[in-house]
Structure 1
C-alpha cells in the first residue's frame, strides 16, 4: 500500500501544447494551471509568437504535472518530423494542437507525424468566446447554430485525418462549450495513474470536476488508510505515530491543493463568484493545520 501511494505521488504527466502563432497556447496553459495572465508564474501571452523554444510550466500546486508551451507551427519552413525530433516527442504523454481559426496545413502535418509515432493528440479550436461575442451582434443570433458551423468548418479542414473530434473551448470560460468533453475523452484514453494526475491538477470549474476529484480521493483514501493500519501493527515504539502522521499529512496536503483550499485559490474563487464569505473556509481547523504545516516545511527547506 505504501508503494502504491508513493507511485501515485510520483507519477508525472507531461502535456504538450502546440499550434499556430496567436492560437492561444499560453492562455490554455494558464487556464489549466488555474492562473490569470498577470499572475507571477503565468505563461506570457500575446498576439505575436511568445514561445521560441519548448518551455515547461510546472503546475503551481500539483508539481508532478508539467505543461509544455511548444514553438508555433506557422512557419512556411515547418517540417513536422524535424519539429517533433527537436522538441523530443518521447517526452510527452499527449499533444494538444490548438487553432483559433481554421486548422492549417502545418497542424495537419504535425498531427500525422504524431499519429505515426502512436502518440495521443487532440485538436482544440480556441477563442470560442470571441466568436460567440462577435456573432451575437447579428440579428437572429443562435449560439448552438454558430457552434455547429464552427465545428463543421473544422471538420472540413481535417477530413483527410479521418474526421477526428474537435473540441471547442474558451480558456477564460472552462465551464462552457467542450472543455468537459475534452477531459472525459482524455480520461478514457490515458492510463489510470495518469488520469488521476490530470483530474487532481484541474481547477474546479464545475460541479462535475468537483465530483471527479472527490471520487479520485475516495479511491486514494483507502490506500492511505490501509497503509496506516498496516504500520500500526509494527512493534517499534513511536513508529506507528510517526508514519501515520506522514501518510495522513501527505494525503490531506494533496486534498488541500486539489480542492483549492490554499489562501491564494480561495481568494481567486471568492472574487470570481463575488462571494466574500468563501474566505471563511480558511478558518477550518484542518485547513489551518495543513497550511501551518506546509509553511513550516517550506521554512525548513529554505534554511537547508
Structure 2
C-alpha cells in the first residue's frame, strides 16, 4: 500500500511545494492505519517537525576593535532602529568589556553576541578563547572599518584551525564614499564603483592570500546597498545544517535572495500543515487544541506575514515613513496580504483574494481519500496556504520596489 501511494506521489508536479519523498514515507504508516491514536501521533509529530527550528539555538559572534561598528551591525542585521526594544547602544568610547548577548526581536533562539576585540590588556591572545567561551558560537563575524589588524588575522586563523566558520566584514562604506565624493567634488565625473574597488583592494591586501575567504563591504545604515545582502545569504548557507531553517527565518534583511530563501523554506511547511488540518478535520477529536482548523491556517498565514515584515506593525512603520496612514499605504501599494488578518472562513478568504479556484496538484489526495474523509479539507488547506504565501511574496516585492525608487 505504501509503495502504491509513493508511486502516485511521483506522478505530480511538486515543484511549488517542496516535499522530500523520504520525509513523506515517515508519515505514511499513520495514514495507512488511521486509528485515533495513529492520527494523534501523526499530528503531534508533524507539529514537532514544523516547530523544530524554534528549538535550535543559533549563536552568532561579532568581534572587532572598538569603534568599527559592531553594535550598529547587530542592530542592522536585526532590523532595529533607535528606540526599538532590544536596540544595542552605540558607544565608541567605552567599548565592549565582556561578551554581550542581544536577542532576535521575534525569535528568542537566535542570539547575537558582541565580543571584545582580541589583543587588548584585558583580552590577550593566550586567554581570549576561554574568556569569550569560543565553543558557544556557531560562527564568527570579524569586523573592521579600514584594514584588518594582526589580531584579527590571528583570530581568523585560530577559528579556522578549530573548524568553525568566520566572515570578514568591512563597515562604514557609505562614509568612505561620501568622503571621496567631497575630495573629488571638482571632478566632472565621480565613479562610486572606483571607490568601492579601491576599498576592497586595500582591505583585501591585509588578508592572507591563501585564506580564500570572501570579504563583505557593508554599511550598517544602508543595509540594502553593497554586500549586506550577500553577507545575509552567506550566513544562511554557512549555518550548521540543522540550524539553516532558523537562520533563514531569523534573517530580517529582505533582499531578493533572502525573500527567495524564505519562500522555499515556507513552501516545505505547506503540505505538512495541510495534512494536519485534514487529519484533524476528519476526526471528532481536536488534535490541534484550537477552536477551528481555519484558525490554525490563519496562524500559519500570519507567520508568512511576519516573515516578510507585512504585519500591521510593520505596515504602520512603512506608512509613517511616507507620511501616510496604514490604510492609505496599503491602497497605494495595492497590498493584498492584509486580507490574511481577517477572521473569516478559508473559502471566503480565497474569494476575497480572487483565488477561489487555483490549480492545485493534490500530491497526497489518494492517501487521504483512502483513510479519512478529510480530502476536501486537505485540498482547501493546500489552496489557501499556497495563495497566502504567493500573496505575501508579491507584497514584500512591491514594498521593496517602492523603497528602492524612493531612495534614488
Normalising by structure 2, what TM-score? 0.63
How many angstroms apart in 1 are the aligned matches of 2:110 and 2:236? 15
Name the CA shift for 1:265/1:282 in 2 (closer, same or farther; >3 Å): farther
* Counterpart contact for 1:37–1:45, Cα < 8 Å: no
The answer for unaligned runs of 5 or more in structure 1 is 291-304
2:329 maps to which of 278, 282, 286: 278
The within-5 A match list for 1:1-304 is: 1-73=46-118, 75=120, 78-80=123-125, 82-137=127-182, 138=184, 139=187, 140-159=189-208, 162-234=211-283, 236-239=284-287, 242=290, 244=293, 247-248=296-297, 250-272=299-321, 276=325, 277-278=328-329, 284-287=338-341
Instruction: Report deviation, 1:161.
Output: 5.5
Instruction: Report deviation, 1:175.
Output: 1.3
How many angstroms apart in 2 are the aligned matches of 1:8 and 1:229? 23
Instruction: Report deviation, 1:119.
Output: 0.8
Bigger CA drift: 94-103 or 45-54?
Answer: 45-54
Instruction: Report deviation, 1:240.
Output: 5.7
* Counterpart contact for 1:16–1:68, Cα < 8 Å: yes
Q: Secondary structure at the match of 1:284?
A: helix
* Counterpart contact for 2:64–2:143, Cα < 8 Å: yes
How many angstroms apart in 1 are the aligned matches of 2:302 and 2:101? 24
Bigger CA drift: 218-227 or 29-38?
Answer: 218-227
How many angstroms apart in 2 are the aligned matches of 1:48 and 1:245? 53
Name the CA shift for 1:117/1:286 in 2 (closer, same or farther; >3 Å): same
Pair member with larger Rg: 2
* Counterpart contact for 2:232–2:253, Cα < 8 Å: no
Name the CA shift for 1:274/1:38 in 2 (closer, same or farther; >3 Å): same
How many angstroms apart in 2 are the aligned matches of 1:219 and 1:54? 36
* Counterpart contact for 2:232–2:251, Cα < 8 Å: no
* Counterpart contact for 1:17–1:67, Cα < 8 Å: yes
Normalising by structure 1, what TM-score? 0.83
The answer for unaligned runs of 5 or more in structure 2 is 1-45, 345-408
Q: Secondary structure at the match of 2:63?
A: strand
Bigger CA drift: 51-60 or 25-34?
Answer: 51-60
* Counterpart contact for 1:30–1:43, Cα < 8 Å: yes
Q: What is the count of residue pairs matched by the alignment?
A: 289
